[in-house]
């Protein structure tokens, strides 16, 4: 039979090859655009989380530094420290011994002289500083005239009782203890805060390798570690000192003595944040400036960003 349409014909092999080639090029272009968009999205997500976590870590530190050495109006020299106060390494009764600040610079191992021997020494990142802060809460849990039974104390909390003569004594309330009428009229009780901030080389397990800001804090009758913000790769501090007592800072130091810590007027905080996952950013080996020193950064594809703040240290010096 004759075909129904004499003018109908199929595509030639060359035409099919040309169409197939153009389709392949179009698919490659679309795939590249998709991967590029996905990479940008991952970068933006990592960058946004970097900002949020960096500001959160900075807020935690600056809030504590600003109140360091605040003991509810009690003078450090007039605070009685109980014999059963929690220790830190070889430093007996460390958690309740009044002090303004404690500091160990990067590269100095805190276990060498048991200065902060209560820390998880094997997990520390020794490229970062360690900072200890002692204070009480911003307001009293109970003040003069309040009823003890009306606001039950926390059973795992130390409190500092401060009287009208700037004298202080610590109290472990347990399940609650009665207060005399004299105490109700003249003693206020403030929740105690004792904390040591440090950088750990991992978050949950050593295998994750996520640098994390952690704190050794007074919890109950001992000190316990708690991790706060992931991705904090470096932490350094500088101290502005008032050496001549005129109320103005005279010099800066990153390696303060005990006397320097007592004379600190402002503290500079420097943080280096690292993204939790690599978004594919290319970064060559550099040394990132982190306050007074440099922190080596390798070519690992992670995003990094620096954060800093200057914090006034408001309260009168305590002991060292």
Residue 263 clears pLDDT 90, i.e. is over it: no
Of 11, 10, 8, nearest to 20 by C-alpha is 11
Q: Give the pair of three-digit tokens for residue 177.
A: 């203890």
The pLDDT, as a whole number, for residue 101 is: 87
Residue 14 clears pLDDT 70, i.e. is over it: yes
Question: Comparing 1-5, 8-12, 63-67, 315-319, which segment has the lowest mean pLDDT?
Answer: 315-319
The pLDDT, as a whole number, for residue 150 is: 47
The share of the chain scoring above pLDDT 90, in percent, equals: 34
Query: 295: Cβ–Cβ under 8 A, 6 or more apart, which residues?
Result: 127, 233, 234, 272, 287, 288
The pLDDT, as a whole number, for residue 149 is: 44
For residue 319, what pLDDT band results from cuts at 50, 70 and 90? very low
Strand-pairing partners, residue 88, are 91
Question: Comparing 128-132, 171-175, 251-255, which segment has the lowest mean pLDDT?
Answer: 171-175
Residue 178 clears pLDDT 50, i.e. is over it: no
108 vs 260, residue with greater confidence: 260
The pLDDT, as a whole number, for residue 2 is: 55
pTM of this prediction? 0.82
| Best mean pLDDT range from 58-67, 113-122, 151-160, 252-261 | 58-67
Please give the C-alpha separations between residue 193 and each of 43, 144, 219, 231, in angstroms, as whole numbers.
38, 21, 9, 25
Count of residues in the chain: 320
Mean pLDDT estimate for the chain:
81
* Other Cβ atoms within 10 Å of 5 Cβ, number: 7
For residue 97, what pLDDT band results from cuts at 50, 70 and 90? very high
CA distance 131 to 287: 23
Residue 303 clears pLDDT 90, i.e. is over it: no
DSSP 117: T
16-71 tens-digit pLDDT: 777 787 777 888 777 777 666 666 667 778 888 889 999 999 999 999 999 999 99
Tokens 């002692």 belong to residue: 134
The pLDDT, as a whole number, for residue 151 is: 54
The pLDDT, as a whole number, for residue 13 is: 72
Q: Give the pair of three-digit tokens for residue 222.
A: 């001992």
The pLDDT, as a whole number, for residue 129 is: 92
298 vs 193, residue with greater confidence: 193
């Amino acid at each position: 039979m004759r075909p129904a349409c004499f003018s109908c014909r199929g595509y030639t092999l060359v035409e099919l090859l040309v169409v197939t080639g153009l389709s392949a090029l179009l698919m490659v272009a679309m795939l590249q655009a998709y991967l590029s968009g996905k990479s940008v999205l991952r970068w933006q997500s990592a960058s946004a989380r970097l900002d949020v976590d960096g500001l959160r870590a900075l807020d935690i530190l600056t809030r504590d530094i600003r109140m360091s050495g605040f003991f509810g109006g009690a003078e450090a020299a007039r605070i009685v420290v109980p014999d059963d106060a929690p220790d830190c390494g070889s430093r007996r009764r460390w958690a309740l011994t009044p002090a303004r600040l404690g500091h160990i610079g990067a590269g100095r191992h805190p276990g060498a002289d048991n200065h902060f021997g209560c820390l998880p020494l094997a997990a520390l990142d020794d490229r970062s500083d360690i900072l200890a802060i002692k204070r009480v809460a911003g307001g009293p849990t109970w003040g003069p005239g309040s009823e003890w039974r009306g606001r039950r104390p926390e059973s795992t909390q130390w409190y500092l009782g401060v009287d009208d003569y700037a004298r202080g004594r610590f109290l472990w309330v347990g399940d609650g203890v009665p207060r005399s009428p004299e105490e109700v009229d003249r003693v206020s009780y403030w929740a105690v805060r004792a904390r040591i901030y440090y950088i750990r080389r991992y978050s949950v397990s050593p295998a994750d390798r996520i640098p994390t800001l952690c704190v050794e804090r007074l919890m109950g009758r001992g000190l316990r570690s708690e991790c706060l913000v992931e991705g904090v790769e470096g932490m350094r501090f500088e101290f502005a000192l008032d050496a001549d007592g005129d109320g103005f800072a005279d010099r800066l130091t990153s390696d303060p003595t005990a006397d320097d810590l007592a004379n600190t007027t402002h503290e500079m905080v420097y943080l280096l944040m690292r993204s939790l996952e690599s978004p594919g950013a290319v970064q060559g080996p550099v040394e990132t400036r982190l306050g007074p020193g440099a922190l080596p950064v390798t070519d690992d594809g992670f995003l990094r960003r620096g954060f800093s703040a200057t914090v006034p240290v408001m309260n009168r010096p305590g002991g060292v």
